[in-house]
């Protein structure tokens, strides 16, 4: 294991995070606060409790997941896309590092940032609504697992994308709709029967639902199914990265 | 074309390339069955026009390009199955100026060292930065540096992990004369410390000045590999110019066997000869001139430069 290489990549990526602190931390916090004002205060005041949880508090896990998913993907994809774009990737490709070391460095740094962001958003939320976390260890585990999984997905996306347009396309057209329709702002029981069934095909529903369970002890779907699905997705992403480095897909000519 | 090691018993070659070919997805065949051995401790210059395959060759050895066929050993280590051992020995300075923008010089060079699996060594990094006159710039962001300085940063990054083999892909392209001289000095000092250096260049002057051996590559084929001196001796032409004591109207029939040219004013006689055929021709010519009663006041010889040799080779006329 080339630990020095992992550390070098990790440090480099974290330095990039701190250089762009305003964009990477402040803006998600501001947008989360806006969600609270709009959904929590303006609309939430007209909605009664959901599963015995006040609406303002009910949307917190969904909001954290919303930011976690989008930020993980955009952060990790940009982290590898940019060196590819500028050409500095040559150094990583010519270094005595395995695919796993590269992934641990890049995805580790991106996930660190995402988890940190998730915690900051949680802290921000607690200023607006009284928070209750029934299973704190599970909550942190879900946070970590989701961050790592979607950073991996972002990493694959960043290698696949040949231009900025493609880099934006997947988050915009696929991830954002899935997240919004994934029950961030509602329980899927509030939907008409057809859409309830349709929602079961949305992987994000499982993530948000399980995460909400760690807070309030109630869930739309089985928590174990949710964990299993996330692990399957994580393994798929890992296999994709391994294949990419083996073949040099979009990395080596 | 196979290359034999001179004495047959030197130490293991720094790099051995066997039957290396590369065809890009576009169908372009960039390399055709290259065999090459780079000796330990030498400066090897790879010469060739744009698109000849120089960068592809370097890219394969360094892991940036997938070979289509063939095998490469770095110090005996296969670049695919033993990539860790192979790559940790190699430093690469690519042709393009690709650097981080926001990092400081110090950080980026330390990053390179770590990436290549070496423990932190501020002393070594300092020596590298001082050698390349970057020490004063160590805390500056790379984006604030001039093009020449960025080029030095790239060399510093390549040297950060103390490589035993250094690839310089057109290191002095777009670099001013002073910096070029400085870089040549750095390369020489590296060679003295035992580092094997492979450089590609457009400037034949550079190869002529620096290289121990020269490989000429054209359209993906290695046209020849030769000791520089040998190459110049074999392929070089020499010109002998004689300043005549008296004007000559035409070359006497007795001398038509020589490749002679008479200048328009009839005061200079130019004899062109291949160094390969030896210098016996000169003695004969001089004797024949004497016999023909042609006297001369002065003479000078001139050797063709590598540039002329190179242009001749690439055009296919030897």
CATH number at residue B93: 3.40.50.300
Q: Give per-residue pLDDT as tens, B214-262.
A: 998 888 999 889 888 887 776 667 788 888 888 888 888 878 778 888 8
Cβ proximity of A221 and A204 under 8 Å: no
Average pLDDT over residues A160-174: 89
Contact flag A253-B24 (C-beta cutoff 8 Å)? yes
Beta bridge partners of B243: B268, B298
Domain membership of residue A252 (yes or no) is no
Residues 6+ apart with CB under 8 A from B148: B175, B176, B179
Domain membership of residue B127 (yes or no) is yes
A142 CA: distance to closest CA in chain B (Å): 31
**Cβ neighbours, 10 Å, residue B62:** 25
Average pLDDT over residues A86-102: 94
Same domain, B269 and B189: no
Domain membership of residue A104 (yes or no) is yes
Please, which pLDDT band fits residue A143 given cuts at 50, 70 and 90? very high
Domain membership of residue B215 (yes or no) is yes
A3 CA: distance to closest CA in chain B (Å): 7
Same domain, B120 and B29: yes
Same domain, B43 and B86: yes
For residue A8, how far is the Cα from the chain centroid?
24
Domain that holds residue A123: 3-247
Question: Looking at beta carbons, which residues of chain B come within 8 Å of A95?
Answer: 87, 115-117
Domain boundary among B196, B212, B233: B233
| Nearest Cα residue to B272 out of B240, B232, B308 | B240
Q: By percentage, how much of chain B surpasses pLDDT 90?
A: 49
Q: How many domains does chain B have?
A: 2
Question: Is the ipTM reported for this complex over the cut 0.95?
Answer: no
Domain membership of residue A207 (yes or no) is yes
Q: Does A97 touch chain B (CB under 8 A)?
A: yes
Average pLDDT over residues A160-164: 91
Same domain, B228 and B240: no
Domain that holds residue B264: 236-314
Query: Can you tell me the distance from the alpha carbon of B105 to that of B110, in angstroms, rounded to the nearest whole number?
Result: 9
Beta-carbon contacts below 8 Å between A and B? 85
Which pLDDT value is given to residue A203?
83
Same domain, B246 and B187: no
Contact flag A96-B111 (C-beta cutoff 8 Å)? no
Q: Does A7 touch chain B (CB under 8 A)?
A: yes
Q: Does A102 touch chain B (CB under 8 A)?
A: no
């Amino acid at each position: 294991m080339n630990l020095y290489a992992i550390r070098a990549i990790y440090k480099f990526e974290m330095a990039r995070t701190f250089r762009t602190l305003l964009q990477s931390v402040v803006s998600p916090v501001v947008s989360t606060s806006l969600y609270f004002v709009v959904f929590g205060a303006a609309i939430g005041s007209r909605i009664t409790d959901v599963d015995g949880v006040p609406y303002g508090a009910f949307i917190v896990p969904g909001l954290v997941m919303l930011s976690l998913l989008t930020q993980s993907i955009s952060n990790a994809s940009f982290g590898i896309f940019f060196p590819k774009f500028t050409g500095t990737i040559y150094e990583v490709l010519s270094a005595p590092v395995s695919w796993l070391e590269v992934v641990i460095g890049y995805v580790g740094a991106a996930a660190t940032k995402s988890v940190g962001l998730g915690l900051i958003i949680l802290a921000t939320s607690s200023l607006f609504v009284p928070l209750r976390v029934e299973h704190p260890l599970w909550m942190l585990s879900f946070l970590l697992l989701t961050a790592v999984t979607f950073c991996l997905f972002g990493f694959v996306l960043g290698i696949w994308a040949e231009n900025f347009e493609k880099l934006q396309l997947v988050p915009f057209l696929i991830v954002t709709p899935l997240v919004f329709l994934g029950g961030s702002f509602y329980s899927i029981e509030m939907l008409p029967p057809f859409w309830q069934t349709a929602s079961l095909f949305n992987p994000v529903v499982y993530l948000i639902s399980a995460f909400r369970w760690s807070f309030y002890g109630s869930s739309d779907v089985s928590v174990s199914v949710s964990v299993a699905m996330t692990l399957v997705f994580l393994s798929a992403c890992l296999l994709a990265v391994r294949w990419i480095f083996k073949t040099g897909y979009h990395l080596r000519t | 074309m196979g290359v034999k090691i001179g004495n047959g018993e030197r130490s293991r070659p720094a790099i051995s390339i066997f039957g290396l070919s590369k065809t890009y997805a576009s169908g372009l065949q960039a390399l055709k069955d290259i065999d090459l051995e780079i000796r330990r401790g030498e400066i090897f210059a790879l010469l060739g026009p744009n698109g000849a395959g120089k960068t592809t060759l370097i890219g394969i050895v360094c892991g940036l390009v997938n070979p289509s066929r063939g095998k490469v050993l770095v110090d005996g280590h296969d670049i695919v199955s033993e990539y860790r051992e192979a790559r940790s020995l190699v430093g690469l300075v690519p042709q393009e100026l690709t650097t981080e923008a926001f990092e400081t010089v110090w950080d980026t060079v330390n990053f390179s060292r770590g990436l290549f699996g070496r423990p932190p060594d501020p002393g070594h990094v300092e020596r590298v930065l001082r050698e390349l006159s970057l020490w004063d710039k160590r805390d500056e962001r790379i984006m604030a540096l001039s093009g020449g300085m960025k080029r030095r940063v790239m060399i510093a990054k390549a040297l950060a992990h103390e490589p035993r083999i250094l690839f310089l892909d057109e290191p002095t392209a777009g670099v001013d004369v002073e910096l070029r001289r400085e870089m040549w000095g750095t390369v020489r000092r590296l060679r003295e410390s035992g580092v094997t250096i492979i450089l590609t260049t457009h400037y034949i002057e550079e190869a002529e000045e620096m290289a121990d051996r020269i490989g000429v590559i054209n359209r993906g084929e290695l046209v020849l590999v030769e000791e520089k001196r040998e190459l110049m001796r074999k392929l070089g032409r020499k010109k002998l110019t004689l300043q005549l004591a008296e004007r000559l109207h035409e070359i006497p029939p007795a001398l038509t066997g020589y490749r002679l040219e008479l200048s328009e004013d009839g005061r200079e006689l130019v004899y062109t000869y291949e160094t390969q055929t030896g210098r016996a021709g000169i003695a004969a010519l001089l004797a024949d001139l004497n016999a023909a009663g042609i006297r001369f006041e002065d003479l000078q010889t001139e050797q063709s430069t590598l540039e002329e040799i190179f242009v001749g080779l690439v055009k296919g006329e030897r």
